Amino acid sequence: MAIVTYEIVEHDGGWAYRVDDVYSETYPSHDSALEAARRAAAEQRVPGETTGIAWEDKDGKWHEEVARGDDRPITDVEG
């Protein structure tokens, strides 16, 4: 099972949460970024429908796959 960690960091003159090398929008305070990260982490754990998805990797290559609605990651928030 995948583990996704949301990390609260200073970013672009404010605060953001980061997952791997991807940043959220910038928030004015640490607390608001933390609240947004907790909300995003909780939403990611909610089961959904099995559906087809397309996504682009860091090299610009597109991939298509089936995302099972019950295959949800474990999430954590740090910072």
Residue 1: pLDDT band (50, 70, 90) is: confident
- Taking the C-alpha atoms of residue 47 and residue 21, their distance in angstroms, rounded to an integer, is 25
Structure confidence at residue 52 (pLDDT): 95
Sign of the torsion formed by the C-alpha atoms of 52, 56, 57 and 61: positive
Q: Find where tokens 């609605």 sit.
A: 69
Average pLDDT rounded to a whole number, residues 28-32: 98
User: Of all residues in the chain, what percent carry a pLDDT higher than 70?
Assistant: 100
Write out pLDDT tens, residues 49-72.
Answer: 999 999 999 999 999 999 888 888
Structure tokens belonging to residue 67 = 């995302």
Sign of the dihedral defined by the CA atoms of residues 71, 45, 43, 15, in that order: negative
